[in-house]
Amino acid sequence: MNCVTSYSQTLERHVEKITIDNIEYDLANASDEAQVQIANLQFVNEQILQRNNELQIAETAKIGYSRALKRELEKIKPDAND
């Protein structure tokens, strides 16, 4: 499986070098199609980062809701049959 491990970028976010499967490629003369695929990879990586951030927010909220539920349930008298 091909794995893009890093990008080397300028301030304009133009990729100069890319590493795939531990091989670094200089993209100074990359084809237009290669540039399109790099842009696609950048977009997808940004989407993954955004989704991971959203997941962390949801997991934090879940913890808070669970703690709030536990506090509320502790107010309930135990069932006499238990």
Share of the chain residues as helix, strand and coil, in percent rounded to the nearest 5 = 50, 20, 30
From first to last of its 82 residues, what are the pLDDT tens digits of the chain?
A: 455 655 554 434 566 888 989 999 988 889 999 989 989 999 999 999 999 999 999 999 999 999 999 999 999 977 766 5
**pTM more than 0.75:** no
Q: Which residues contact 10 (CB under 8 A, 6 or more apart)?
A: 16
> Token pair for residue 54?
């959203």
The full set of domain ranges for the chain reads 4-73
